Structure 1
Amino acid sequence: MSLATSKLGRNQLTVSQLGLGCASLAGIFEAVRDQDARATIAEALSAGITYVDTAPFYGHGLSERLVGDGVRAASDVVVSSKVGRILTPGPASNPGAWVSALPFTPTYDYSYDGVMRSYEASLHRMGRDRINILYFHDIGAMTHGDVMGREIFETAMTSGYRALEELRNSGAIDAFGLGVNEVAVCETALERGDWDAFLLAGRYTLLEQSPSNLLLAKCAARGVDIVVGGPFNSGVLVGGNSFDYGAIPPEITGKVLEMTRICQTHDVPLPAAALQFPLAHPVVKSVIPGPRTPQELHQILGWWSHTIPAGLWSDLKDAGLIASEAPVPAGTLA
């Protein structure tokens, strides 16, 4: 099977427009069986997915091990990972959301040496000699707070940035950027570096376009591409009980119900609309949901290929459920 592709970054990496996010496979909030995780990666590659994203933080090394084993023989797969955390042997005192984390404790380090150490450790965990894309992971106030966030951001933009630039200039990596859940840090970073792409999770979705619309316009002007993570806002758009990894606010519940009603009038599953919507923006090059099992992957592939009439998008705009200025897929004519 083949999927449509896009070109990403200054080196024009070819990435499938539907990618595979591998945080969930590392067991966030609930365990994932090893055989399910490995089968999901294998079936994603068979389905034509050629862009796979991981990070040291995901399962404290578990996701990178799974990804490395799964894609090692696939020469055409673009792999992204992240920097900003160093994994030290020894069980974490607080594994957080990872229910089956490996026995490593993550510590933040966005310095030149920290980036280089993280990069080399990721290569070892994955058993690869190359990582195509590196993202600074979680450098905003959402993770570190306002005061510490400013200090960490400055370290990343100076010392850590120098390491990423050196790796790209030497050809060791093809591209670099940020992997974050917040818009503000991307807008600030735009003024501080020559980036290839931002992996923005949960912020440009069917449920939320503002203030992302302004950021995406700025990215387009600067030649910075966007990868959309978390297209289902951590589950609420696929019938789950979580919005951005927390309880679902009443206003979000109401919005999802109304979106569901409109989608039903067009015989379109809400998750299909959620999955296809972000890619209509010209700066978005790939959308990377995070299935846990082959069955969930099959659902995603079905939603990805589901035919959506143009009338659905106009109805959602007329109802004020998506921003009037947001680009939408062309859709089919009734």
Structure 2
Amino acid sequence: MLTARRTAVPLALAAASVVAAGSQALAAPPKGAWTSSVPALTRPAALYGVAAPKRQVAWTVGSEAKGTKPVVLRWDGTTWKRDAVPGGIAPEIVGVASNGKRNAWAIAQSGAPDDARSLHWDGLSWKAVPYPLPLPLAVSVDSGGTAWSAGCAEQQNDCAVLQYKGGQWVRHPALPLATVAARTPRDVWAGGAGDWTDKTGLRHYDGRTWTKVEFPTQWSQWILQIVPVSAREVWVYTLPQDPLFSGPTLMRLKDGVWTEHKPPRPTVQARASIIGNGFLGRIAPDGRGGVWLQTNQTDSYQHFDGTSWTKVPRSLPFDGAPFMYGLAQVGSSRTVLGAGYGGAVPVIERFR
């Protein structure tokens, strides 16, 4: 988030200053529209992650044939094509990240202990990479091309941030984390479930040390996703653990000041079952200074322009509102990709 020599001071200021900005007013929607497509996969099939570092480079990942076969689809600038996946990969690929067409990483989950749980794209093919923890949860690639991941042991109370270096995943000091976002090698964020002694459950790495990052909050937080936009700005999608279950909220750190932006309450209640990563939705930058939010509770996307919220209808290829487990800005453009499924049908959504 900040240069190494300045990290301590701005983070201290951020912890001491928060502005409540629970704006509920609806603004004019951004120009453009959502469109949907259904890739030809063996159903039941699902997509769980998407990455789009450039306009002509994107991947989406998931599984098909009742979760028994891993899937990687690559966008070549015109169409989505299936990439060959090496044998021995865990059948449900749940996340993907990339910084360019010659470097992408993905993570996968499985009940079989011998399945490889990470894989790397080198520009020509995907290769299996051993992963030291049984439950990978998130993956990110920094601007230098280094991969980062968050994962847990089988007990799920032993989690860590992993960095790929020297040909292997290296474990950083144990942290209560379940998500990671790396912008540069000196700007890495991680978060997870907070508690009464560590309410935010949020950490920042400056290339040398991890620092606890706090924002004033009455309740402990469950950090769902972190999106560092620049050295001066980061968005955090989090779930306050309040007794009335007020639902997820959006926190923004900009120029050392935290602001809270509560999305409008959905008309549809949260679904009772938790069925995988991203079940409470995802956020992605909009290329305009705001963010897109999909809560997985309505048939519309929510857009926040920095001041006000807007509901933007989806264009669905079937009845109902599918779960969108992946949401990503395409490069630095105003185009956004979503990946998910509804029932047995995989779906890719695009705003432009």
TM-score of the superposed pair, with normalisation by structure 1: 0.32
Of structures 1 and 2, the one with the larger relative CO (CA 8 A, separation 6+) is 2
- Structure number with higher strand proportion: 2
TM-score, with structure 2 as normaliser: 0.31
Higher helix share: 1
